[in-house]
Structure 1
Amino acid sequence: MNVVGLTPIIPIVFAFALPLFSILIKGNRKIVQAYVLLGTGLTLISSYRLFQLAYSSSTPLVYTFGKWVAPIGIVYEVDRLSALIALVTAGLMFLITIYSYRYLEHEEGLEWYYTLYLGLEAGLLGVLLTGDAFNLFVMIEVTSIAAYALVMFYRDRGDSVTAGFKYALIGAIGTTMYFLALGILYGAFGTVNFADL
């Protein structure tokens, strides 16, 4: 797997492993925070390498997952602009991780917060790097689910739960419309791959 495919995979692997890892370390806050910093740091390094490769290449970088070529397989396609935005996104997520240490120092459920946070980062990077409209829908859903849950993280405060449900309702309407448009697009052109469109 090259850096194009690896960049959004790093935070999702760290996100899925965090709850189990947290049980093994008995919820030690400092180790959880170091783990998340490592995950976002590796993602930042991978994004920087992706940025270097995109700017040194005269054509977009393409990666097909599982050797299934487009239009059947999942394709990530990275040009200079998407590599720059991915680098900025990974950099901001790394800085937010550092900031969140103090912000969340008295909160419970830190491992769940950071699991959602890493899922959000993976979704955002997937949105930026995808090469087809259906995978874009999937990454929007990953991003949305993590964002809804993060809005509702402070569930002991009534406003956050209410805001999260409103956000989820509006987001569900938006993604439903996108999915319907995706069906129309596929019906009209027979593909959802951006390069083919």
Structure 2
Amino acid sequence: MERNSFDIWKTKALIDSALELLPSYKMQLTDAMVIFCIMNLSSLVCNIYLQTISVGVMMNALSFIGITISGIALWLYMRFMPIFLKAGDKTDFYIGAFLEYLIVTIGFCPLYLYLFVELKWFMLNKYGWDCLFLFNTYTNWLLAGMAFATISCVYWLIVHLIQKESKMFYLLEKKKKEIYEL
């Protein structure tokens, strides 16, 4: 336990020292965190709304899963993304980002379904999954697809921006260690 707290303190000290060198990195990291939090909170609010208007057990379960997944995605982002950023390895970062992306996408699934059924959530409660064939039109697919594409683009732009800046952060920290060792 003591070793773990020391590692966290040491890591925080390294981040703080590098942030003095790269103030733009800190701003971008903060902006990305704010955007990601807004994205996840919007998912959470939509899922809570769907939970309140759901009558059937299946729709309640789907909304509850969306709420849970949104909370998990937010926690994972806050907990593990900084660890991947400090490593400086693109592979680990993109694997973590892809897993997080899957979780975010699953968290928004009830919203995609809500848009697909033209905001008629009661139809799913009344007729079940069979009513999806009634709504199988081009415009419904387009609306849900555009929401998915927008959320995906925002997420991957944030991830790419942070990764690009974290590489410079990693190189500066490596050079700083080399200077201190001399």
Q: TM-score range by the shorter chain?
A: 0.3 to 0.5
Structure index of larger Rg: 2
More helix by share: 2
Q: TM-score, normalised by structure 1?
A: 0.37
Which structure is richer in relative contact order (CA contacts within 8 A, separation 6 or more)? 2
Q: TM-score, normalised by structure 2?
A: 0.39
More strand by share: 1
